[in-house]
Chain A
Amino acid sequence: EAQVTQNPRYLITVTGKKLTVTCSQNMNHEYMSWYRQDPGLGLRQIYYSMNVEVTDKGDVPEGYKVSRKEKRNFPLILESPSPNQTSLYFCASREATNEKLFFGSGTQLSVL
């Protein structure tokens, strides 16, 4: 089954404790992206990647890191999480020439 897999689904952590949210897609998509979703603000892009070893900042990159060492994986790293990073996070992917985004099931992160 074609899908984007995110883990974990729920995560509660404390301020300053490094964490990684994993994202993997099995559709051989070139493009991958991370979004955060907050009430009243919609989906805001954090980082995106056009292909392996190519990443770029989105609209709200502060406090986040990403890497794209393999085509299928695009982890999101919070080196020192803060409470304002409490949010619902979505990973998404698509083909290079197709605008349709496929979303993962989301990660609800709470930073205490």
Chain B
Amino acid sequence: QKEVEQNSGPLSVPEGAIASLNCTYSDRVSQSFFWYRQYSGKSPELIMSIYSNGDKEDGRFTAQLNKASQYVSLLIRDSQPSDSATYLCAVNVNDMRFGAGTRLTVKP
């Protein structure tokens, strides 16, 4: 089992909809969780971090963490075409471990 798993997608949503990206991880001792956004041909950039169970909101982005279920998600409200990118889930387990990423396309 991979340490960090994501649905590879692609995920396609219409403009203005909510995009939901999911991630599961295997190591129960993980304490730090991150979402990186990577535009095509560019490097990853950190958009959200979460450390405690529950929700963390930052503008149109909400990260959700459930340690009991070993599950972390990212919700993007009012999705815009500029949100079209690959989203990488990362978990700090003896250093950062990345999922394969989910490609999101927001259609105008």
Binding site for B on A (CB under 8 A): 33, 35, 40-45, 48, 58, 90, 99-101, 103-106
- With A103-B44, A104-B43 given, name 8 new contacts (CB 8 A): A33-B96, A40-B8, A42-B99, A43-B88, A44-B98, A100-B49, A103-B43, A105-B42
How many residues from B make CB contacts under 8 Å with A? Answer: 18
Question: How distant is A88 from chain B, measured CB to nearest CB, in Å?
Answer: 9
Provide the residues of chain B in CB contact with A40, threshold 8 Å: 8, 100
Chain B residues within 8 Å of A101, by CB: 44, 46, 96
Would B43 and A90 count as touching, CB distance under 8 A? yes
Contact A99 B44 (CB under 8 A): no
In the bound complex, residues from chain B placing their C-beta under 8 Å from that of A45 are 95-96
B25 in the interface (beta carbon within 8 A): no
Is the CB of B45 closer than 8 A to any CB of chain A? yes
A-side contacts of B44, CB under 8 Å: 43, 90, 101, 103
CA distance A100 to B43 in the complex (A): 14
Contact pattern, B 92-108, Cβ under 8 Å of A = 1, otherwise 0: 10011011110000000
Contact A58 B43 (CB under 8 A): no
Give the shortest distance, in Å, between A58 (CB) and chain B (any CB). Answer: 7
* Given A90-B44, A99-B49, residue A41 in contact with residue B100 (CB < 8 A): yes
A44 to chain B: which residues have CB within 8 Å?
98
Q: List 25 A-B contacts (CB under 8 A).
A: A33-B95, A33-B96, A40-B100, A42-B4, A42-B88, A42-B98, A42-B99, A43-B44, A43-B88, A43-B98, A44-B98, A45-B95, A45-B96, A90-B43, A90-B44, A99-B49, A99-B92, A99-B96, A100-B46, A100-B49, A101-B96, A103-B43, A103-B45, A105-B42, A106-B42
| B31 smallest CB distance to A (angstroms) | 10
- The CA of A100 and the CA of B32, in the complex, are separated in Å by 11
Q: How far does the alpha carbon of A105 sit from the alpha carbon of B101 in the complex, in Å?
A: 18
Say whether B32 contacts A99, CB under 8 Å. Answer: yes
Residues on B with C-beta less than 8 A from A41 are 100
